[in-house]
A and B are shown apart, each in its own frame.
Chain A
């Protein structure tokens, strides 16, 4: 068998950020007409590698060759010009512009007089037809759903005649059905001799679409295998190293209802659906897991529990009584709701505040941290010091600004801030996103400990494995609706997947 010609070669790429070696002599070869999966956990170095390819970072060592030509480092335009397109995990689209404008952006010399929209329009239509990427070129991107936006991103690359397409976690935001449509498109592309790099950590997808798998671990290539010659278990072992599978925690014992959503509806906001007549009961001593593709109302649920929004319809009960009419974050805190927000950098902490200041952010109005409007910094500092010790926050001290901490240590401080108030309800929204394995198991063990102390824990996560591993009861969210409770072990992955795609809801919207 003769090998197809080489289209892209990354050679011994090394990139350091201070003491951290994000990429350690990574090599990767891509040939025409093949799909290569780039596998690895969060922080394994996938994103850094792609940023180097696209000139966002400059590698400390190593070189890149595209179609036989060396690619100049640090030039974002070079990879594009060489025929390499990328679909980022977070789409880079301008919402207020049309689909066509987004696709055409930067494709013509800046100083030419005409945009030539008609020709572009025709080309986009032809590409959309050829590759099964139905989308209206004249629609405004802001009004499109996630699946359609991804198609626009792919069209952007194809419009520039890309021969190599890189997809970063493309299915994280898709329903299983949308993901299938994406795979059909990818197969059509490969059949025409294009090449694809597919970045993911979802093993079954990789097994379904990839010809070869390159596995990264801690910035190094941990292994490279042909898909036909491997299994999900073997890939998992490569990804996590000698990691043993975690034993499931013992189930909790359900107590009284701590918080109840009684047919709660909230308005849609910024393209994300609100809650639709949601019923949910959070009981003491239980972890209630919310599974679902992100963008299906989890944000609204989290905001409601946090006190950021109020029910437009329906009722929110706390321990059997109606929640205060002025339901605010302060009211939620007063009602004993501890909140671990999804975005710890933007909502959970204030980057330029010290650990002490961040530790008392929620409690600074109360004794013992303040009296008659004056803060007792000594008490605050002692509190922060106690959290640092108890929750193993690795830091130079309580006077350090929190922006200097790693994500895991930042999360531990938030965890301590929440759990030290002995909350009756704990909201944990994507609590381990972007953390390393050690921090993940620590956060999980703390959530279980909180449950065992009698707290009602609400776990919202995109990671189905995490939800199934920790939850005593699972609800699935789809388009703002919340499914009936499913007890631990009461449904298979496939069944949950169908629910996530919107099937089997009692009240179809």
Chain B
């Protein structure tokens, strides 16, 4: 077989294949639940109602989607410039650490301190990604491996912090940090509903990133670098500088996930603050075709699968890991669909 590039793929191709990918994922879900001995249709139904069936379920899905929007945006921004940031997990924790550091110090000015927490988080996350990107631009070290390795180092660092310097004296020995002051939590978006402003911030971030990509010179340059770094350099774009700026934005976005989880939901830092939000962000970004608004939609979808699978698992006895499998499968199907949209398979 060989692939023949299609110069100008039709809309049917460009949207049909991704739609097919989602359909195939649903098929895989049915097969998996059948293997697990459950009724496929009932399982699917339970996942859907588990994610959207009640006000509580919807709020849970929105809360779960919040960090995924941030990490998804972080990945989407970086991948657009062909900067392979697989280290959103580390950047998230860096943000969470700074949130706690600022959030547990006594300033006495909450109106200033909460934004300061966010800014410190962004700065920390940006710095964490800056390292691997400098290694890439200076030494040509592949950033995929370094950002992956940084994830493990950062997790050990957090583990040390919550067992040592940042440990909560009132935590009864549990490895968790001193909680952020009550006044320094992100407020609820609607009084009485368990949904914090982290979600609003995430959607706002998506809009800003969209605007940046579509309208700003930097966004244009980031796309140019991602599409063809050689042509970008030739045309006067400072490629290294664009990559560094991309790293700062991407790392900062991922760090906001840590900020919003700590300041909006958990209140303190633990080693298991993130159940792989950084890695799931890659799936979110790919499902969104790297589009910022798509990231919001994809994050809601992914969060729904997680939340729905949790509640389905309790009812139908299918292991919750079905959610991870489905997301990995949907990622691979989506990549394949994007490839098929641009190439015609010719059998010779």
User: What residues of B have a CB within 8 angstroms of the CB of A377 in the complex?
Assistant: 215
B36 at the interface (CB under 8 A from A): no
**Do A364 and B220 form a contact, CB below 8 Å, given A328-B236, A330-B236?**
yes
A308 at the interface (CB under 8 A from B): yes
Task: Give the residues from 207 to 221 in chain B that come closer than 8 angstroms, CB to CB, to chain A.
Answer: 215-218, 220-221
User: What residues of B have a CB within 8 angstroms of the CB of A403 in the complex?
Assistant: 7
Contact with A along B117-152 (1 / 0, CB 8 A): 000000000000000000000000000000000000
B66 → A minimal CB distance (Å): 29
Which residue on B lies nearest to A347, using beta carbons? B234
User: What residues of B have a CB within 8 angstroms of the CB of A328 in the complex?
Assistant: 236, 238
User: What residues of A have a CB within 8 angstroms of the CB of B7 in the complex?
Assistant: 403-404
**Do A404 and B236 form a contact, CB below 8 Å, given A370-B217, A373-B216, A374-B217?**
no
A187 at the interface (CB under 8 A from B): no
Interface centre among A328, A329, A357 (most CB of B within 10 A): A329
Complex Cα–Cα for A353 and B220 (A): 10
Are the CB atoms of B217 and A350 closer together than 8 Å?
no
Are the CB atoms of B235 and A329 closer together than 8 Å?
yes
User: What residues of B have a CB within 8 angstroms of the CB of A357 in the complex?
Assistant: 220, 224
B40 → A minimal CB distance (Å): 40
A56 → B minimal CB distance (Å): 10
B228 at the interface (CB under 8 A from A): yes
User: What residues of B have a CB within 8 angstroms of the CB of A362 in the complex?
Assistant: 235-236
User: What residues of A have a CB within 8 angstroms of the CB of B237 in the complex?
Assistant: 329-330, 361
Complex Cα–Cα for A351 and B227 (A): 8
A203 → B minimal CB distance (Å): 35
A416 at the interface (CB under 8 A from B): no
B346 → A minimal CB distance (Å): 9
User: What residues of A have a CB within 8 angstroms of the CB of B340 in the complex?
Assistant: none
**Do A339 and B215 form a contact, CB below 8 Å, given A403-B7, A404-B7?**
no
User: What residues of B have a CB within 8 angstroms of the CB of A308 in the complex?
Assistant: 233-234
User: What residues of B have a CB within 8 angstroms of the CB of A365 in the complex?
Assistant: 217, 236
Are the CB atoms of B8 and A349 closer together than 8 Å?
no
Contact with A along B224-268 (1 / 0, CB 8 A): 100110111111111000000000000000000000000000000
Contact with B along A365-402 (1 / 0, CB 8 A): 10000100111010000000000000000000000010
Interface centre among B8, B228, B232, B235 (most CB of A within 10 A): B235
User: What residues of A have a CB within 8 angstroms of the CB of B228 in the complex?
Assistant: 346, 350-351
B236 → A minimal CB distance (Å): 4
Are the CB atoms of B217 and A361 closer together than 8 Å?
no
User: What residues of A have a CB within 8 angstroms of the CB of B221 in the complex?
Assistant: 364
Are the CB atoms of A329 and B220 closer together than 8 Å?
no
Task: Give the residues from 1 to 42 in chain B that come closer than 8 angstroms, CB to CB, to chain A.
Answer: 7-8
Are the CB atoms of A341 and B234 closer together than 8 Å?
yes
**Do A346 and B235 form a contact, CB below 8 Å, given A364-B220, A375-B220?**
no
Complex Cα–Cα for A308 and B232 (A): 12
Are the CB atoms of B8 and A404 closer together than 8 Å?
yes
Contact with A along B187-219 (1 / 0, CB 8 A): 000000000000000000000000000011110
Complex Cα–Cα for A352 and B224 (A): 9
A362 → B minimal CB distance (Å): 5
User: What residues of B have a CB within 8 angstroms of the CB of A404 in the complex?
Assistant: 7-8
Complex Cα–Cα for A362 and B220 (A): 12
User: What residues of B have a CB within 8 angstroms of the CB of A373 in the complex?
Assistant: 216-218
Interface centre among B217, B233, B236 (most CB of A within 10 A): B236
Complex Cα–Cα for A332 and B221 (A): 18
A74 at the interface (CB under 8 A from B): yes
A-B contact count (CB 8 A): 70
B54 at the interface (CB under 8 A from A): no
Are the CB atoms of A349 and B231 closer together than 8 Å?
yes
B209 → A minimal CB distance (Å): 15
User: What residues of B have a CB within 8 angstroms of the CB of A349 in the complex?
Assistant: 231
Complex Cα–Cα for A361 and B218 (A): 12
B105 at the interface (CB under 8 A from A): no
Task: Give the residues from 39 to 58 in chain A that come closer than 8 angstroms, CB to CB, to chain B.
Answer: 58
User: What residues of B have a CB within 8 angstroms of the CB of A58 in the complex?
Assistant: 348
Total A residues in contact with B, Cβ cutoff 8 Å: 33
User: What residues of A have a CB within 8 angstroms of the CB of B230 in the complex?
Assistant: 346-347
Which residue on A lies nearest to B225, using beta carbons? A350
Complex Cα–Cα for A384 and B177 (A): 57
Which residue on B lies nearest to A357, using beta carbons? B220
Interface centre among A333, A362, A375 (most CB of B within 10 A): A375
User: What residues of A have a CB within 8 angstroms of the CB of B216 in the complex?
Assistant: 373-375
A306 at the interface (CB under 8 A from B): yes
A22 → B minimal CB distance (Å): 15
B4 → A minimal CB distance (Å): 10
Complex Cα–Cα for A308 and B220 (A): 21
Are the CB atoms of B235 and A361 closer together than 8 Å?
yes
Complex Cα–Cα for A343 and B83 (A): 24
User: What residues of A have a CB within 8 angstroms of the CB of B215 in the complex?
Assistant: 374-375, 377
**Do A339 and B234 form a contact, CB below 8 Å, given A357-B220, A374-B216, A375-B216?**
yes
Complex Cα–Cα for A477 and B327 (A): 58
User: What residues of A have a CB within 8 angstroms of the CB of B217 in the complex?
Assistant: 364-365, 370, 373-375
User: What residues of A have a CB within 8 angstroms of the CB of B236 in the complex?
Assistant: 307, 328-330, 332-333, 362, 365
Complex Cα–Cα for A349 and B230 (A): 10
User: What residues of B have a CB within 8 angstroms of the CB of A332 in the complex?
Assistant: 236
A489 → B minimal CB distance (Å): 35
A132 at the interface (CB under 8 A from B): no
Are the CB atoms of B231 and A347 closer together than 8 Å?
yes
Complex Cα–Cα for A341 and B234 (A): 9
Complex Cα–Cα for A404 and B7 (A): 6
B316 → A minimal CB distance (Å): 45
User: What residues of A have a CB within 8 angstroms of the CB of B223 in the complex?
Assistant: 353
Which residue on B lies nearest to A417, using beta carbons? B235
A147 at the interface (CB under 8 A from B): no
A176 at the interface (CB under 8 A from B): no
Are the CB atoms of A350 and B234 closer together than 8 Å?
no
Contact with B along A302-313 (1 / 0, CB 8 A): 000011100000
User: What residues of A have a CB within 8 angstroms of the CB of B232 in the complex?
Assistant: 350, 361
Are the CB atoms of B233 and A329 closer together than 8 Å?
yes
User: What residues of B have a CB within 8 angstroms of the CB of A375 in the complex?
Assistant: 215-217, 220
A348 at the interface (CB under 8 A from B): yes
Are the CB atoms of B227 and A329 closer together than 8 Å?
no
**Do A350 and B233 form a contact, CB below 8 Å, given A330-B238, A375-B215?**
no
Complex Cα–Cα for A306 and B7 (A): 30
Complex Cα–Cα for A357 and B221 (A): 10
A422 → B minimal CB distance (Å): 17
Interface centre among A341, A347, A362, A404 (most CB of B within 10 A): A347
Complex Cα–Cα for A328 and B234 (A): 9
Which residue on A lies nearest to B221, using beta carbons? A364
**Do A350 and B348 form a contact, CB below 8 Å, given A306-B234, A328-B236?**
no
Complex Cα–Cα for A373 and B238 (A): 15
User: What residues of B have a CB within 8 angstroms of the CB of A350 in the complex?
Assistant: 224, 227-228, 231-232
Given contacts A347-B230, A353-B223, 20 further A-B contacts (CB under 8 A): A58-B348, A307-B236, A308-B234, A328-B238, A329-B233, A329-B234, A341-B234, A346-B230, A349-B231, A350-B227, A350-B228, A350-B232, A351-B228, A361-B231, A361-B237, A362-B236, A373-B216, A374-B217, A401-B8, A403-B7
Residues of A within 8 A of B (CB): 58, 74, 306-308, 328-330, 332-333, 339, 341, 346-353, 357, 361-362, 364-365, 370, 373-375, 377, 401, 403-404
A-B interface, 7 closest residue pairs, ranked by CB to CB distance from nearest: A330-B236, A361-B235, A329-B236, A350-B228, A347-B234, A362-B235, A350-B227
Q: 8 pairs across A/B with beta carbons < 8 Å?
A: A58-B348, A308-B234, A330-B238, A350-B232, A351-B227, A361-B224, A373-B216, A374-B217
